[in-house]
Amino acid sequence: MRHIVTVQEAVTAFADFMEPTNAELDAIEQEMPVILAGVDLLDAQIITLDRTPNELDTQRIRRARRRLLAARRTLTNQEAVTTSGGTA
């Protein structure tokens, strides 16, 4: 019988080298509004999985979808400004 402990030690032996860089953490921080808006949309959709959506559920999903699209638009516009060097 093989013990999982030996496999776990081999996998986690390099954990110190696998930390995210500062640039990766900054990218995650910049994308956080999109991530949170996506989670809100998923939450609204999950609520309606086991029942027929009522008017409030439909509004909640619609609102969450609009927030997600707005967050994506904002992130895309920020990336466009960063890529172009601030000139349009």
Report pLDDT digits (tens) over 46-72.
999 999 999 999 999 999 999 999 999
d(C-alpha 40, C-alpha 26), whole Å:
22
**Is residue 63 situated within a structural domain?**
yes
Q: By residue range, what is the domain housing residue 64?
A: 22-83
- pLDDT at residue 7, rounded to an integer: 54
**Is residue 2 situated within a structural domain?**
no
Whether the predicted pLDDT of 43 surpasses 80: yes
**Is residue 15 situated within a structural domain?**
no
> One-letter amino acid identity for 27?
A
Q: Is 45 exposed, middle or buried (0-12, 13-18, 19+ CB in 10 A)?
A: middle
What's the number of domains the chain is made of? 1
For the ranges 28-32, 47-51, 82-86, the lowest mean pLDDT is seen at: 82-86
**Is residue 62 situated within a structural domain?**
yes
**Is residue 3 situated within a structural domain?**
no
- pLDDT at residue 80, rounded to an integer: 86
pTM of structure: 0.71
**Is residue 10 situated within a structural domain?**
no
d(C-alpha 24, C-alpha 34), whole Å:
16
**Is residue 54 situated within a structural domain?**
yes
